[in-house]
A = this chain, B = another copy of it.
Amino acid sequence: MKEKITIVKVGGKIVEDDVSLDVLLNGFTAIGGHKLLVHGGGRTATDVAARMGVETVMVGGRRVTDAAMLRVVTMVYGGLVNKQVVARLQARGVDALGLTGADMDVVRSRRRPVADVDYGFVGDVERVDADRLAMLVRSGVTPVMAPLTHDGRGCLLNTNADTIAGEVARALAPLFDVTLVYCFEHAGVLVDPGREDSVIPRIDRATFEALREAGTVGGGMLPKLENCLAAVEAGVARVVITRADALAPGRGTEIVA
C-alpha cells in the first residue's frame, strides 16, 4: 500500500489576491498527509512587466519570454509569489519549501525549439527528480513549486504550471498514491455551464467519450480532460478538477482510469 500524496495546482488569479489566497491556503493546510503545491502568477508578471516597461506578448495563451520577460517571471514566480506562499504556509504550521526546477535540480527542461512561434526562454519538461521530491516530502517538507525550470546549463526557463503539476504527478506515481488537484474557476466539470450544482462527480474514459459525443463537454474542457485522462492512464491514481475554495475530498469532478 503506497503512501498518499496530494498535488494541488493553483493559478495566478487565486494566489495573487490576498483573500482568495488565504482561503486556498486554509484548504491546502487542512489536507492530511503528504502534499505539494504548484502555483502560477501570470497576472502579477504582466503587471510588474508593465510597470518596468517590458511588453507582454501572448501567443495562443502562452507567454512569449524574451530575456527581459525571463527576468520578470524569475522575480515574480520564483520570488514574490513563491515566497509569500511559503511564508503564509509556515504561519499555518506547514513546513513549506519554495522550489524552482533549478533548486536541487528537481525539474530539468529543454528550451522549446522554434517552430511557427519563438516562445523564447520557455522550457518543455524533460525530467523530474522524483526521488529528491520524495525525500523532501517524507522528511515532512511541503514543496511549493514555481513555474520555472532550468536547462542544466545555467539558464532558467519559464514553464507552464499545469505541465509541471502533471509531470510531477506522473513522476511520483510509482512511489505514491497520487491525487492531482487542478483548481479552476468552476466547482467541477458541469453538465449545465450555468449551474455550479451540476457537477459531474466522476469521469473515466468511457464517460468522457459519451459526454463528448453528447456534446455535454466541449471547447477548452476537451483538451483539459484529455490531459487528466492521460495522467491517470499513466499511473496517477486520480485527478480532481475543483474550485480553489473547495479542496475537501468529495468536491469537484474526479477523473479516474
Contacts and interface: CB of A to CB of B under 8 A. Distances in A.
Interface of A: 48, 51-53, 71, 74-80, 82-84, 86-88, 90-91, 95-100, 102-105, 135, 139, 141, 148, 150, 152-156
A88 B87 CA distance: 26
Contacts of A48: 52, 75
B90 A154 contact: yes
Given A75-B75, A98-B103, A83 B156 contact: yes
Contacts of A155: 87
A105 B100 contact: no
A75 B52 CA distance: 13
Contacts of A95: 104-105
Nearest to A47: B52
Contacts of A96: 102-104
Contacts of A103: 83, 86, 96-98
Contacts of A82: 78-79
A139 B132 CA distance: 10
Q: Which 7 A-B pairs have the closest CB atoms?
A: A79-B79, A75-B75, A91-B154, A78-B79, A75-B79, A87-B102, A78-B83
